Amino acid sequence: MKNIAVFTSGGDAPGMNAAVRAVVRTGIYHKMNVHGIYHGYQGLIEGKIEKLGKKDVANIIHRGGTILKTSRSEKFRTPEGRAQAYKVLQKHKIDGIVAIGGDGTFTGAKVFSEDYNIPFIGIPGTIDNDIYGTDYTIGFDTAINTAIEAIDKIRDTADSHNRLFFIEVMGRHAGDIALHTSIGSGASFAFLPETNTTVEDLIGFLDNAKKRQKLFNLVIVAEGNKSGNAMKISRKLKKISEKYESRVMIIGHIQRGGSPSTHDRVLASRFGYAAVNALKEGLSNVAVGLISGEIVHTPFEDAITKSKGIDQTMVKMSEILSL
């Protein structure tokens, strides 16, 4: 294992740069040549690959986004695209690859590795925290802290005007961001993709809260929950009951940006270090993860197909603490 490469793919997440830095510096420590592939799988097809040194990854651990850029590649889904990507790897004599991203990134790595027998190690980088085989993914901690910081400011306005606020956070298929921000911000109610919460359930809660003379309510909405996004829920509420005046705030893509938290910097560094060591030890087609504080390796097949699910104990706790 003399020549390795690293790339980022899919949605960006705070901490990806810290992972790239760890891969490069760990690889160099082990006398490897480390290459950066720019713009993910599309960049691999187009040959956008350069050798990286320690100076190339200096002063990036605190930066959001990814210095290697990212993109989605339809061409890589085709046999012709993967064949072109393999030619690029042959040209640079790449022996193994570290892929930083989510389940789509791991799916591409699994297919490509099976086609051409190139060892891949995956690093889970997604703010959604929805990858099986790890307690936390890179970017999740920063995303929920960004959301909570915004919600703390909204709370001041909600309190001043005795209003109901719907706050939409990211999470098309996973509710971890919504659940954690709900608990961390002291919100009154949460709509998650994994639950069947309805607007009628919310009205029942609000009616009970009103009897207790609760003056304002913050409702966290995951964008992919079954009852619709925050705007849709707000309109449904108004249609069913005019007792509650509501406002809507969509936090949106600011959750993906910004300087990564200390937790994400350390987590990403551990993952990058572990990924290079996994390649050195001859592992392939696995994603590194952290479970109960220990580094683990999960086959891509499991990481892609198995559902992490929501922590039902935390869901119950959230409901109790909001009463």
**Which amino acid is residue 20, in one-letter code?**
V
Helix axes 79-91, 103-116, angle to 10 degrees: 70
Write down the residue that tokens 């309805």 correspond to. Answer: 198
Strand 49-52 versus strand 96-101 pairing type: unpaired
Q: Are 206 and 166 in contact (CB under 8 A)?
A: no
Strand 246-250 versus strand 164-169 pairing type: parallel
**Which amino acid is residue 122, in one-letter code?**
G
Annotation says 128 is catalytic: yes
Annotated active-site residue in 56, 95, 115, 128: 128
Residue-by-residue DSSP string for 157-192: HHHHHT-EEEEEE--SS--HHHHHHHHHHT-SEEE-
Helices (H), the chain: 16-29, 40-46, 79-91, 103-116, 140-161, 176-185, 199-211, 230-240, 262-280, 300-305, 312-321
**Cα–Cα distance for residue pair 254/222, rounded to 1 Å:** 15
Helix axes 230-240, 199-211, angle to 10 degrees: 70
**Cα–Cα distance for residue pair 19/43, rounded to 1 Å:** 19
Residue-by-residue DSSP string for 280-291: HTT--SEEEEEE
Which residues fall within 8 angstroms of residue 216, CB to CB, at 6 or more apart?
A: 155, 158, 159, 161, 162, 163, 164, 165
Q: Are 274 and 289 in contact (CB under 8 A)?
A: no
Active-site residues, by number, are: 128
